[in-house]
């Protein structure tokens, strides 16, 4: 059975992945499949930089608006939906294009992770996160290292949510998450394209993007979500922009400071994204953000090579 061609576009926030994916979809008859952990939530449009209605009309898009902000959504669920969307696009004769900056989502699909299907344990998760808050993230990470050194080695101690999830799986099943996350090669013929941009220019683009989101009504979007009953401590509401503006709406910080915090937090996040992609996946082919013509030429050559194989 022939392997499905899968084009992957990765890179940090604000580097231009979505615009490139749309250009490639129009050129190569593609279907865009989001690999963004925030765009799955309905009603969270501006702060997650979802494609516009016009962009969605121009090319098929999948894995947007999948669940409500208060519904649980994990890696196993994403992986299954993404695999189905890829198969559906290929069956329709379209090129599947997986695009996004959530590294775990991308790798789970492209590397065929066997994701533990352990339902979230809210009480246990809250207990572990409270432990990290009380004793510090490093203490929780050391606890994980004692039972699952392999998982601990690849999870940043500052990422309390992932550390807590790994411990949650171990405490629930008695098996380390690393043993449950074995890989089996997926049925894809892959081309992975990474976009990069010089840091000062990327930071300037981030600042402009946050200002544009505010002008487009991000504060009103956060207010509307809270008025709809979505609590500030939901995982969905912890995303960039939502967390800081919720703090402003609670009267804890001024609006100017909330906006400044969004920009600083986004800069830190893009640094972590770049480290993740560069350090964990040497198969990514990197292009400058403006070199869309170079990317198009590479994709065309890959498709021609695939057809000749």
Give pLDDT tens digits for 220-233.
999 999 999 999 99
Residues facing residue 62 across a β-bridge: 33
Question: How many CA atoms are closer than 13 Å to the CA of 194, on its beta-carbon side?
Answer: 21
In the chain, how many domains are there? 2
Among 148, 165, 180, residue at a domain's last position: 180
The CATH number covering residue 59 comes to 3.40.50.300
The CATH number covering residue 152 comes to 1.10.20.140
Q: Give the pLDDT of residue 80.
A: 93
Question: How many CA atoms are closer than 13 Å to the CA of 282, on its beta-carbon side?
Answer: 0
Q: Give the pLDDT of residue 52.
A: 94
Whether 37 and 158 share a structural domain: no
Contact criterion met (CB below 8 Å) for 24 and 98: no
Over pLDDT 90: what percentage of the chain?
Answer: 72
The region, left, alpha or beta by phi > 0 then psi within -120 to 50, assigned to residue 217 is left
Q: Which domain holds residue 172?
A: 122-180
Q: Per-residue pLDDT tens for 168-224? A: 888 887 878 877 667 778 899 999 999 999 999 999 999 999 999 999 999 999 999
**Per-residue pLDDT band at 306 (split at 50, 70, 90):** low
Burial 149-159 (b: 16+ CB within 10 A, else e): eebbeebebee
* H-helix or E-strand spanning residue 264: helix 255-280
Among 180, 195, 220, residue at a domain's last position: 180
CA dist list (Å): 98 to 107, 169, 192, 194: 11, 28, 9, 12
Q: Per-residue pLDDT tens for 78-118? A: 999 999 999 999 999 999 999 999 998 999 999 998 776 77
């Amino acid at each position: 059975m022939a392997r499905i061609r899968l084009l992957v576009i990765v890179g940090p926030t604000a580097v231009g992945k979505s615009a490139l994916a749309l250009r490639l979809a129009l050129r190569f008859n593609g279907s865009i499949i989001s690999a963004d952990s925030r765009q799955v939530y309905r009603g969270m449009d501006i702060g997650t930089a979802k494609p516009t209605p016009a962009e969605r009309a121009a090319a098929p898009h999948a894995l947007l608006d999948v669940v409500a902000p208060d519904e649980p959504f994990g890696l196993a669920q994403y992986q299954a939906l993404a695999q189905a969307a890829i198969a559906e696009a290929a069956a329709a004769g379209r090129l599947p294009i997986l695009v996004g900056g959530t590294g775990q989502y991308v790798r789970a699909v492209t590397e065929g992770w066997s994701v533990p299907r352990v339902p979230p344990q809210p009480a246990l998760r809250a207990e572990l996160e409270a432990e990290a808050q009380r004793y510090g993230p490093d203490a929780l990470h050391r606890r994980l290292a004692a039972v699952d050194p392999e998982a601990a080695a690849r999870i940043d101690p500052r990422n309390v949510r992932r550390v807590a999830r790994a411990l949650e799986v171990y405490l629930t099943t008695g098996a380390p998450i690393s043993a449950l996350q074995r890989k089996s090669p997926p049925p894809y013929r892959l081309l992975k394209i990474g976009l990069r941009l010089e840091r000062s220019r990327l930071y300037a683009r981030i600042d402009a993007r946050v200002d544009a989101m505010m002008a487009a009504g991000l504060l009103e979007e956060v207010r509307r979500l809270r008025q709809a009953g979505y609590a500030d401590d939901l995982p969905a509401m912890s995303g960039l922009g939502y967390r800081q503006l919720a703090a402003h709406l609670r009267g804890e910080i001024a609006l100017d400071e909330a906006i400044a915090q969004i920009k600083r937090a986004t800069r830190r996040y893009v640094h972590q994204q770049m480290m993740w992609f560069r350090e964990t996946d040497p198969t990514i082919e990197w292009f400058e953000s403006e070199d869309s013509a170079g990317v198009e030429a590479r994709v065309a050559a890959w498709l021609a090579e695939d057809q000749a194989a």
